[in-house]
């Protein structure tokens, strides 16, 4: 996988993390579903009260599909 925060220097990366400025790189973005990007975006929210709770995360459509595929050993 690729990190959602990017930069040319450690300082740029740390600034992106602190500002919650994510980038899903276009060259890899087509491999990442909208549901996966939404899931990640909703977890990486600066304000804790606005983040997904553990219960909400477990109910995420993306995670439910992943768990189903993992549980039933489905290859995609």
**pTM > 0.85: yes or no:** no
- b/e per residue 31-43 (b: at least 16 CB within 10 A): eeeeebeebeeee
pLDDT band at 3 (very low <50, low <70, confident <90, very high): confident
- 43 within some domain: yes
Look at residue 35 and tell me if it is in a domain.
yes
Evaluate whether residue 39 is within a structural domain: yes
Instruction: Specify the pLDDT at position 74.
Output: 64
Contact (Cβ atoms closer than 8 angstroms) between residue 6 and residue 19: no
pLDDT the model gives residue 33: 82
Q: Which of 15-24, 26-35, 37-46, 54-63 has the lowest mean pLDDT?
A: 26-35
Q: Report the pLDDT value the prediction gives residue 25, as an integer from 0 to 100.
A: 61
Q: Is the pLDDT of residue 60 over 60?
A: yes
Flag whether 54 is in a domain: yes
> What's the number of domains the chain is made of?
1
Which residues have C-beta within 8 Å of that of residue 7, sequence separation ≥ 6? Answer: 13, 14, 15, 16
* Residue-number span of the structural domain to which 46 is assigned: 10-71
């Amino acid at each position: 996988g690729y990190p959602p925060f990017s930069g040319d220097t450690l300082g740029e990366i740390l600034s992106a993390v602190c500002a919650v400025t994510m980038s899903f790189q276009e060259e890899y973005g087509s491999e990442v579903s909208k549901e996966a990007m939404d899931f990640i975006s909703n977890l990486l929210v600066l304000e804790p009260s606005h983040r997904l709770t553990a219960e909400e995360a477990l109910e995420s459509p993306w995670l439910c599909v992943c768990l189903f595929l993992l549980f039933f050993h489905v290859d995609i």
